[in-house]
């Protein structure tokens, strides 16, 4: 009957009637479904009939006896399901708005406009109520009700195993939506019968639910029968190990379809509040999804597509740790600027300090994303992206974070907590060549360098010195590798601009901290001479050396009291003499400021006397 309907021997109208009446009593033979799918390629079946057939297949999917041949054409079937990816066109929105103005606030028009408002809110300025009646009829529920009635009438054993697949909403229940979709299904076989046999090899298939150890999984790796519902794979460590080892494209395709539908339905398309009405279930669901991401060391394409859409409507507080955790598994691609950077930038500039820290630099979002990309670049780098393209994408990510950090430090008044996490990020960036093997060196922007150099806490200055030391080590190693490579076309080349930025920063640090030459011509920080004279600050050029710097002045006072305990008048300039200066540097280094010590050892040829006007750096 199924082949008769799909062949259109009696026209398209009988085909629709036959499909609606096909209610299986026990199981559906796989061969019938495969032969029906073949008729889709003929090109004579109307689109509405094709959609009806796909709905029928999805409804009775758990009743198909075997799926070994069906798995081979999953890509063909799912191409029909995912062919229309809600492509937004301006004329579609305008047409809906025109119909809405003519027909009034019809439920089906409001539902369509609410979907479009999620993807492009600037085109739909209409206020839409958060709670609406169902705008469209559910054509699958009558099928499910009929299937359950047939199963009960025949007393079949299959009905008990399909309670998860065929459930209808209790009409007497509360009007509020029950978020049963936010639970991972239990791992169970397709049907309660003997295990099928792979027709191509004659081997008996083993349901995944019957395996209890990794040794059993390895023994039956190539004859495993996947469960009835692919969402159950995310709740089983053995199932995740199977996905990681086999890389079954059909299984990943089915799993991504289920996961994408669940995320969109519960977080984007739910009109009654979505996950906000049951945050505990949503929290558990996303935590399990994050655990699966961490186990596989990569994310799913469906969760990536969901995040690109969800960020446009996210308020920055709902399930923040989980959403930021999902962000850390997004692969770095060249097109991520419009999809990822712009929505995150809007959230960043309109949020509190705690969100800025959590969102950009704390170990669960962009900083974690950079670390994961550098550690597992082969897994997160798309197959169609070259190493050069991946390097450019990482460079764009680092520069994007640099812009956020520069503006964020200005907005928050160079807050020490925010600056600390910014420096955490650049401690990862400065070692991209030696630690992660990526031929890339990106210097921090001046909006990050100078707030750290002029910070009021000594730890920030010390960490900046350590970062500049690691930049020196990475650049020196990369330059040596370039000289050793005879074929220059394959050599790792560093631009002159990178060396120029590094040399300039080192000269500024040495001139400021060691040589007492702040506000001198040639440095980025310059003030008018008249303004400096009006400030009445004596010897203003020494205001930010290691003696008078606000971060180190307490150490200078303590050192002065220990060296000259009998002096009543404190003269900090006496530390600038040759021997006291060397003692003072050693005193600072013994306080745990290893960054300053390493910076001095790698960039200063001799221990300069503060203010002697000489500086010899080794980075040139």
pLDDT of residue 272: 45
Query: Which range has the worst mean pLDDT, 118-122, 589-593, 607-611?
Result: 607-611
Inter-axis angle of helices 249-263 and 237-246, nearest 10: 130
pLDDT above 80: residue 496: yes
Stronger pLDDT, 430 or 567, i.e. the higher one: 430
Contact indicator for 200, 68 with CB cutoff of 8 Å: yes
pLDDT of residue 164: 39
The span from the CA of 185 to the CA of 70, in Å, is 22
Contact indicator for 159, 152 with CB cutoff of 8 Å: yes
Closest CA to 190 of 56, 24, 27, 57: 27
Stronger pLDDT, 40 or 508, i.e. the higher one: 508
Stronger pLDDT, 210 or 170, i.e. the higher one: 210
How confident is the model over 226-244, as a mean pLDDT?
A: 84
pLDDT above 70: residue 61: yes
Q: Which residue has the tokens 């990816």?
A: 85
The span from the CA of 365 to the CA of 324, in Å, is 5
| H or E element, residue 609 | none
pLDDT of residue 159: 42
Confidence of residue 443 (pLDDT cuts 50, 70, 90): very high
Confidence of residue 461 (pLDDT cuts 50, 70, 90): very high
How confident is the model over 567-576, as a mean pLDDT?
A: 77
Confidence of residue 136 (pLDDT cuts 50, 70, 90): low
- Whole-model pTM: value is 0.65
pLDDT tens, position by position, 377-429: 544 455 445 667 778 878 888 888 899 899 999 999 999 999 998 999 999 89
| H or E element, residue 246 | helix 237-246
The span from the CA of 418 to the CA of 393, in Å, is 25
pLDDT above 60: residue 432: yes
Which of 189-193, 194-198, 322-326 has maximum average pLDDT? 322-326
pLDDT above 50: residue 87: no
Contacts of 193 (CB under 8 A, 6+ apart): 65
Query: Which range has the worst mean pLDDT, 227-241, 342-356, 357-371?
Result: 357-371
DSSP string, 227-245: -SSGGGGGG-HHHHHHHHH
Query: Which range has the worst mean pLDDT, 106-120, 169-183, 240-254, 294-308?
Result: 169-183
Contacts of 466 (CB under 8 A, 6+ apart): 427, 594, 595, 598, 599
Confidence of residue 137 (pLDDT cuts 50, 70, 90): low
pLDDT tens, position by position, 5-37: 888 777 778 788 888 888 887 888 888 888 888
pLDDT of residue 470: 94
State both tokens at 475: 């650049």
pLDDT above 60: residue 51: yes
pLDDT of residue 381: 52
How confident is the model over 126-137, as a mean pLDDT?
A: 62
Name the 3-class secondary structure at 451: helix
Contacts of 196 (CB under 8 A, 6+ apart): 65, 66, 68, 204, 205, 225
pLDDT above 50: residue 163: no
DSSP string, 130-169: SS----S--SHHHHHHHHHHHHHHHT-THHHHTTTTS---
How confident is the model over 272-300, as a mean pLDDT?
A: 77
Alpha-carbon dihedral angle through residues 506, 512, 516, 518, given to the nearest 10 degrees: 120
pLDDT of residue 577: 79
DSSP string, 504-557: HHHHHHIIIIIS--TT-TTSS----HHHHHHTT-TTGGGTTSTTT-TTTHHHHH
State both tokens at 133: 């009646």
Closest CA to 354 of 418, 287, 281: 418
pLDDT of residue 131: 61
Closest CA to 419 of 467, 471, 347, 487: 467
How confident is the model over 128-151, as a mean pLDDT?
A: 64
The mean of the pLDDT values for the chain is 76
How confident is the model over 281-287, as a mean pLDDT?
A: 87
Stronger pLDDT, 350 or 522, i.e. the higher one: 350
pLDDT of residue 298: 81
Confidence of residue 519 (pLDDT cuts 50, 70, 90): low
How confident is the model over 282-298, as a mean pLDDT?
A: 87
């Amino acid at each position: 009957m199924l082949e008769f309907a799909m062949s259109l021997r009696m026209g398209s109208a009988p085909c629709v009637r036959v499909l609606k009446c096909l209610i299986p009593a026990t199981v559906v033979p796989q061969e019938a479904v495969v032969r029906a799918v073949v008729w889709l390629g003929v090109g004579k079946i109307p689109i509405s009939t094709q959609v009806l057939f796909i709905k029928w297949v999805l409804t009775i999917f758990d009743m198909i006896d075997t799926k070994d041949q069906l798995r081979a054409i999953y890509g063909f079937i799912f191409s029909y399901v995912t062919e229309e990816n809600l492509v937004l066109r301006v004329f579609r929105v305008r047409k809906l708005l025109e119909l809405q103005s003519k027909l009034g606030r019809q439920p089906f028009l409001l539902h369509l406009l609410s979907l479009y408002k999620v993807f492009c809110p600037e085109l739909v300025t209409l206020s839409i109520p958060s709670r609406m009646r169902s705008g469209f009829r559910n054509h699958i529920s009558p099928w499910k009700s009929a299937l359950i009635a047939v199963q009960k009438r025949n007393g079949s054993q299959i009905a008990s195993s399909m309670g998860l697949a065929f459930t209808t909403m209790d009409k007497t229940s509360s009007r509020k939506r029950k978020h049963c979709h936010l639970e991972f299904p239990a791992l169970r076989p397709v049907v309660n019968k003997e295990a099928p046999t792979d027709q191509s090899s004659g081997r008996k298939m083993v349901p995944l639910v019957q395996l209890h150890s990794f040794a059993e999984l390895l023994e039956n790796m190539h004859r495993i029968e996947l469960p009835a519902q692919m969402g159950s794979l995310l709740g089983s460590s053995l199932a995740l190990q199977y996905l990681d080892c086999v890389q079954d494209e059909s299984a990943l395709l089915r799993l991504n379809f289920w996961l994408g539908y669940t995320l969109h339905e519960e977080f984007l398309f739910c009109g009654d509040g979505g996950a906000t009405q049951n945050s505990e279930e949503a929290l558990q669901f996303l935590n399990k999804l994050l655990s699966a991401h961490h186990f596989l060391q990569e994310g799913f394409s469906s969760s990536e597509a969901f995040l690109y859409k969800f960020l446009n409507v996210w308020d920055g507080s709902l399930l923040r740790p989980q959403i930021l955790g999902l962000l850390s598994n997004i692969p770095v691609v060249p097109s991520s600027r419009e999809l990822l950077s712009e929505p995150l930038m809007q959230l960043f500039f309109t949020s509190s300090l705690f969100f800025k820290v959590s969102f950009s630099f704390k170990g669960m979002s962009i900083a974690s994303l950079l670390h994961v990309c550098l550690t597992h670049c082969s897994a997160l780098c798309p197959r169609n992206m070259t190493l050069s393209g991946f390097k450019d994408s990482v460079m764009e990510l680092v520069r994007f974070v640099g812009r956020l950090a520069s503006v964020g430090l200005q907005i928050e008044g160079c807050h020490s907590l925010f600056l600390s996490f910014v420096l955490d990020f650049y401690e990862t960036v400065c070692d991209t060549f030696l630690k992660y093997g990526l031929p890339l060196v990106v210097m921090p922007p001046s909006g990050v360098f100078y707030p750290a150099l002029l910070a009021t806490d000594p730890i920030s200055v010390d960490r900046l010195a350590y970062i500049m030391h690691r930049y020196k080590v990475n650049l020196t190693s990369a330059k040596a590798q370039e000289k050793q490579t005879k074929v220059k076309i394959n050599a790792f080349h560093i631009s002159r601009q990178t060396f120029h930025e590094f040399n300039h920063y080192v000269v500024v640090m040495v001139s400021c901290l060691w040589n007492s030459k702040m506000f001198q011509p040639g440095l980025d920080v310059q003030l008018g001479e008249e303004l400096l004279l009006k400030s009445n600050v004596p010897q203003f050029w020494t205001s930010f050396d290691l003696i008078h710097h606000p971060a180190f002045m307490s150490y200078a006072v303590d050192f002065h009291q220990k060296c000259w305990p009998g002096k009543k008048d404190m003269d900090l300039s006496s530390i600038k003499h040759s021997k006291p200066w060397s003692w003072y540097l050693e005193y600072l280094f013994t306080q745990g400021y290893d960054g300053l010590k390493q910076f001095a050892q790698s960039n200063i040829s001799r221990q300069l006397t503060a203010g002697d006007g000489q500086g010899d750096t080794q980075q040139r």
